[in-house]
A and B are shown apart, each in its own frame.
Chain A
Amino acid sequence: MYCLVRGGALVWRFWVSEGFWPPAEVFSKGGNGGCGLVRRGHWPRLGPCLFVMNKPLLRVSEVACARGGLTVLEGISFDVHAGTALILRGPNGSGKTTLLRTLAGLQTAVAGEVSVADETIAYAGHADGLKGTLTVAENLSFWASLFGFGAITPALGAFELSGLADRAAQSLSAGQKRRLGLARMLVTGRPVWLLDEPTVSLDVSAVALFGEAVKRHLAGGGVAVIATHIDLGIEAEVLDLSAFRAVAPRGGAFDEAFI
């Protein structure tokens, strides 16, 4: 997120979908008095979304969500402001994935409202979305082109995949595949990251790499909602979902009628 500053007052914050994240030299951040826009070699392409400052990037109010027709979570409310992260915790089956999928818009909330600007969400689920017969670079380039993002080299570098760029994805180890799946988040250029158990099959150093990537994302004004049980070394609020478990799962009576 970058701020356009005129006469000391912040006019707009917005996203830049060009180059690696965050290209600090493109814009100076607010508070330097004059116009905060610093031109680099060429004008960066502006992302599709504009934000006025202080509005939370993601607002969840009284949301209830269901899995397999049963309401598993209800009454969830939180705001995630630019530059902050939210860690979701809870035992297996407590609805972390369901909540993240609801936030991503893959399924609709049973009740309540998820407010998030259009086309700001990047979601990474359990699967990495890789094609085994394509190379690492081809896999990443595809997603980069789909999201209108140019360079993949910084994303490869951030997850130490540069040496593997020409390898077929099917010959990667599980941890390397996961790193490639996470590198995909960097080429989306999107501010709201929703990550579902991102550290599965990652080793200690790869978890550290991922923590650094999230920190850089947050420092650039992005937000992240992460379902994980591992300490990523980032300062974040923790939301324990077991407190929001639906008291009486609706739909139970319906099922019983068929038994």
Chain B
Amino acid sequence: MKGLLQRDLRLAIRAGGGFGLALAFFLIVVILVPFGVGPSADVLAPIAPGVLWLGALLACLLSLDRIFATDYEDGSLEFLATAPVPLEGVVAVKALAHWLTTGLPLTLAAPVFGVFLNLPSGGYGWLVASLALGTPALSMIGAFGAALTVGLKRGGLLLSLLVLPLYIPTLIFGADTVRRGVDGLEAGTSLILMTGITLGTLALLPFAGAAALRVNLR
């Protein structure tokens, strides 16, 4: 399992692995928004939490189809399925590797990007906390979607359509946490609800993903 995680991280960092792609995409989205809605702080500040969360979510989506597709194409997935590791563990480790290469950098970079959008000072702590606790769910749901669509032609597009609706609860409570933090309201409830969603996906989706992979490998 450790070997699998190491390999996935190494693949992501090597040339063509797509590491940094999500971060660059996030940066561009955040920079484009002020061009679209105008640079006024009064306009930007209220929408900053939502835009930051949306940007992070879309950036996460970019590299999802690579989670299983490359392994499927080169035959590694068949070997993994016959290896002495449970397929559920493979799904969980792959989601973890995806989070370490997208969710974690996004979380760490988000405060900097918050400045671009004039996010009020009360929101930064909540922004980092909500992204840290919410992005694992994005990776896990994404890994499940990738397992469902592996082996399909142009599966990446279908994957986005499948996965985005499943991201809604995390987006609602994640953005709400930051918004409440900005307004000085009680934000803990939203954060706890979102964490609950994350824990639920982490507990259940490895099994669903493994089942989907078994069907697709047939």
Contact = CB atoms under 8 A, between A and B. Distances in A.
Interface residues of B, number: 26
A145 B3 contact: yes
A123 B83 CA distance: 9
Interface in A31-71: 48
Contact of B84 (A107, A126, A148): A148
Interface in B14-29: 14-17
B157 interface: no
A133 B11 CA distance: 7
B10 A129 contact: no
Interface in A91-139: 104-108, 119, 121-123, 125-131, 133-134, 138
A134 B4 contact: no
B75 A134 contact: no
Contact of B75 (A122, A127, A133, A147): A127
Given A125-B75, A127-B74, A143-B79, A133 B85 contact: no
Given A119-B84, A146-B4, A133 B79 contact: no
B75 A106 contact: no
A48 B79 contact: no
Nearest to B217: A106
B7 A105 contact: no
Main secondary structure of the interface of A (DSSP, over half): loop
Given A125-B75, A129-B74, A133-B11, A104 B85 contact: no
Nearest to A123: B82
B189 interface: no
B100 interface: no
Contacts of A129: 74-76, 78-79
B74 A105 contact: no
Contacts of A78: none
Interface string A136-156: 001001110111100000000
A128 B217 contact: no
B218 interface: yes
B74 A147 contact: no
Nearest to B218: A107
Interface in B159-196: none
Contact of A146 (B14, B17, B73, B84): B84
Interface of A: 48, 104-108, 119, 121-123, 125-131, 133-134, 138, 141-143, 145-148, 184
Interface of B: 2-4, 6-7, 10-11, 14-17, 70, 73-76, 78-85, 217-218
Given A107-B217, A145-B2, 7 more contacts: A108-B218, A125-B78, A127-B76, A131-B7, A134-B7, A134-B14, A146-B83
17 contacts: A106-B78, A106-B82, A106-B217, A106-B218, A127-B73, A127-B74, A127-B78, A129-B79, A131-B11, A133-B11, A133-B15, A138-B10, A141-B3, A142-B3, A142-B6, A146-B80, A146-B85
